[in-house]
Amino acid sequence: MSRNFLTISDLSREELFGLLDRADELKALRGSPAHPRPLEGKSIAVVFEKASTRTRLSFQVGIHELGAQPVTLNSKDTQLGRGEPIEDTARMLSRYVHGVVYRTFGHDRLEALAGCSTIPVVNGLSDKFHPVQLLADMMTIRQSFGPALDVARVAWIGDGNNMANSWIVSAGLAGFELVLACPAGYQPDEQVLADARARGAKVRVVGRPEEALEGATVVSTDVWASMGQEDEASERQGAFAGFIVDEASMGRTASGAIFLHCLPAHRGEEVSAAVIDGPQSRVWDEAENRLHTQKALLEWLVV
Ligand code: CP
Ligand code: NVA
């Protein structure tokens, strides 16, 4: 059976740190003749059932730089978009390509794809998890605070969504402290929390942003309405009032704190322009780090 990467906990702690170290090496080697091409002659499919800019670009470019050919499919242009079962898609993909990155809605669709594939499957975002983003986020934290992630104290402000769930799983594996401030009714997945706590994760969920921000070295947030929740956007704007990350929020954090956002961002909603475009923001390094970490991941999974 091939290895998959559907959630951060598909990695051991050693594997996680090994990938982050390798991503640092690949960043340093980028553009040099010494950069490895371990996927020479292979093809990797990148399949989207939702919109994407960063995931599309970073996987396409990264797969190319590893020596393989990216084959990007938008489901609406394929038979998947006309109802072909995901299980049949998995069996067919396994005959053509050497790995598949899949962005979809229900996490069960990723599990079904993985269950019927004989090639590695990577979660390019589901409604439940966005683990490739967390690899980039952890690389970015290490660039500011050094390699030992357990020195970070992360504040998550906003929706208990796929990104929040992924931070929770990462806290359990990497050992950093995580405090999530989520409005009532928008808390993270209970089972994800329980599983992470069973692994020793230092995670708390609080009701007010101030409780999470006090002493934080990393502040992160995300859109209030994720892909697929567009019709809840106005209701969510009311529920999330007071959850903007602005200069006053950053003023509550530890000195030297950084701001992360997976992007795309809505300035004036979940984050002020002054913060995302300000000196504490690391969002462009974070976006770049998608490329390096995913290359390390594919090198490890596919070779
Ligand atoms: N952060 C992220 O996954 O961005 P895209 O939706 O543009 O891929
Ligand atoms: N939570 C967001 C992340 C986008 C990268 C969404 O799922 O739309």
| Residue 53 Cβ contacting ligand 1 at under 6 Å | yes
> 303: closest CA among 114, 8, 42, 32?
42
| Residue 220 Cβ contacting ligand 2 at under 6 Å | no
Confidence label for 245 from pLDDT (cuts 50, 70 and 90):
very high
Q: What is the pLDDT of residue 166?
A: 98
List domains and CATH numbers for the chain.
8-130+290-302 (3.40.50.1370), 133-286 (3.40.50.1370)
Q: What is the pLDDT of residue 259?
A: 98
- pTM of the complete model beyond 0.95: yes
Confidence label for 303 from pLDDT (cuts 50, 70 and 90):
confident
Ligand nearest 48 Cα, by number?
Answer: 1
| Phi-psi domain of 146 (left: phi exceeds 0; alpha: psi -120 through 50; beta: other) | left
Residue with the two structure tokens 């969510």: 236
For residue 205, the cross-strand partners are 180
| Residue 222 Cβ contacting ligand 2 at under 6 Å | yes
Could you report the per-residue pLDDT of 118-149, keeping only the tens digit for each?
A: 999 999 999 999 999 999 999 999 999 999 99
What's the CA-to-centroid distance between 2 and ligand 1, angstroms?
26
**Residues noted as catalytic:** 103, 130, 133, 222, 262, 290
Could you report the per-residue pLDDT of 203-215, keeping only the tens digit for each?
A: 999 999 999 999 9
Quick one: tokens of 262? 């997976």
